[in-house]
C-alpha cells in the first residue's frame, strides 16, 4: 500500500511541475516534509480546473459531478483508485482538512461551468471557493495540527488567496472575457474597460495584500519563506499590470520573466533569513 501511496503523491508532484513552474518553485522553498501534501492539494485543484476549462467536447457537467462523488468517496473510505484523489484524501485525512473547504471549492468549479457574470455576492463566494479555501487547505498542512495557530491565521490566509486570484483575473482578462465569456469583476463593463475600473480593482487587490502581510510573517519556520516568495511574485505581477494601460491588459497576458522570478525568489529568501 505504501508503494501505491508514494506513487499517487509523486503523480501529483508531476502534475504541479507540468502545469505551474512558479508554484513548483514556491513549494520547493518549503521544508521538504510539506512538499508532497501541498503537491497533493494542487493536483486535486488542477484536475478539477481542467475539467471545467479545457475538457471541451465532453460532458463537463457529468465529468465534474463524477469527480465530486469520487472525491467524497475517497475521503470517506480512505482509498481511491484515482491516483490524484488518493493523494488528496491522504492529505485531507492526515491534516484534518475541513469538509467545508473541499465543498466550497467544488461549488466554485460548478459555477465555472455556466456562470458568466458575477454580482458582488457571487463574486465573493466564487473567490472564497476557488482561491481562499485552497490557501486554508495549505494552512492546515502548515500548522500541523496546531488549531490555535490555524485560527489566528485564517483571515490573512484568506486575504492572500483572494489577492492571488484577483491578480490572476486581471492577468487573464483576455482569455476569460474573449475566449470563455466570463466576467468575474462585478459592475465592470469589459467592452468599455476604463482606467478608473482598472485602478479600482488594483486598489482592492493591494488592500488584500496589505492585510495578508502580517499573517505571512507569523507563519511557522519552514513555510514562511515559500509563502513570502509567492507573495513577492504576485505583488510584482500586480506592479507590472499597474504600469500597463487598461487597453493593453485586455489585449495580452502580462507576465513576470523567468530571470526576474529567480531574482525575486533570492531576495525573498534573504529577507526571510534576516527576519528569523
- Pair 111, 135: CB distance under 8 Å: no
Flag the least confident range among 15-29, 44-58, 73-87, 262-276.
262-276
Position 259 confidence tier, pLDDT thresholds 50, 70, 90: confident
* Residue pLDDT, tens place only, 119-149: 888 899 999 999 999 999 999 999 999 999 9
Report the pLDDT value the prediction gives residue 273, as an integer from 0 to 100.
Answer: 64
78 has a pLDDT exceeding 80: yes
pLDDT band at 276 (very low <50, low <70, confident <90, very high): low
Averaged pLDDT of the chain: 91
**Confidence class for position 98, pLDDT limits 50, 70, 90:** very high
Which band of pLDDT confidence, cut at 50, 70 and 90, is reported for residue 258? confident
pLDDT > 90? residue 266: no
Task: Give the chain's end-to-end CA distance (angstroms, integer).
Answer: 40
* pTM metric for this prediction: 0.91
Cβ burial, residue 157 (10 Å; 0-12/13-18/19+)? buried
Q: In terms of Cα–Cα distance, which of 197, 95, 214, 101 is closest to 152?
A: 214
- Domains of the chain in start order, with CATH, are 144-276 (1.10.600.10)
Q: Name which of 32-41, 91-100, 211-220, 225-234 the model is least confident about.
A: 225-234
Alpha-carbon distance 8 to 74, whole Å?
13
- Do the beta carbons of residue 80 and residue 74 sit within 8 Å? yes
Amino acid at each position: 500500500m505504501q508503494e501505491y501511496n508514494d506513487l499517487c503523491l509523486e503523480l501529483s508532484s508531476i502534475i504541479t511541475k507540468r502545469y505551474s513552474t512558479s508554484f513548483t518553485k514556491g513549494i520547493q522553498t518549503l521544508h521538504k516534509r510539506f512538499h508532497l501534501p501541498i503537491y497533493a492539494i494542487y493536483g486535486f485543484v488542477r484536475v478539477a480546473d481542467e475539467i471545467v476549462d479545457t475538457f471541451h467536447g465532453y460532458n463537463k457537467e457529468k465529468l465534474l459531478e463524477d469527480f465530486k462523488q469520487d472525491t467524497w468517496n475517497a475521503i470517506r473510505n480512505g482509498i481511491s483508485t484515482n491516483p490524484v484523489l488518493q493523494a488528496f484524501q491522504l492529505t485531507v485525512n492526515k491534516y484534518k482538512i475541513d469538509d467545508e473547504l473541499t465543498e466550497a471549492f467544488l461549488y466554485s468549479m460548478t459555477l465555472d461551468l455556466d456562470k458568466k457574470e458575477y454580482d458582488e455576492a457571487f463574486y465573493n463566494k466564487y473567490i472564497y471557493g476557488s482561491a481562499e479555501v485552497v490557501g486554508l487547505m495549505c494552512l492546515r498542512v502548515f500548522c500541523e495540527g496546531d488549531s490555535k495557530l490555524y485560527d489566528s491565521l485564517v483571515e490573512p490566509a484568506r486575504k492572500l488567496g483572494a489577492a492571488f486570484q484577483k491578480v490572476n483575473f486581471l492577468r487573464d482578462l483576455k482569455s476569460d472575457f474573449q475566449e470563455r465569456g466570463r466576467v468575474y469583476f462585478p459592475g465592470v463593463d469589459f467592452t468599455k474597460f476604463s482606467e478608473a475600473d482598472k485602478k479600482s480593482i488594483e486598489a482592492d487587490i493591494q488592500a488584500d495584500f496589505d492585510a495578508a502581510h502580517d499573517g505571512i510573517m507569523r507563519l511557522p519556520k519552514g513555510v514562511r519563506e515559500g509563502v513570502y516568495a509567492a507573495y513577492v511574485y504576485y505583488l510584482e505581477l500586480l506592479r507590472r499590470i499597474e504600469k500597463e494601460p487598461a487597453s493593453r491588459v485586455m489585449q495580452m497576458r502580462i507576465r513576470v520573466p523567468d530571470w526576474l522570478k529567480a531574482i525575486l525568489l533570492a531576495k525573498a529568501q534573504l529577507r526571510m533569513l534576516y527576519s528569523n
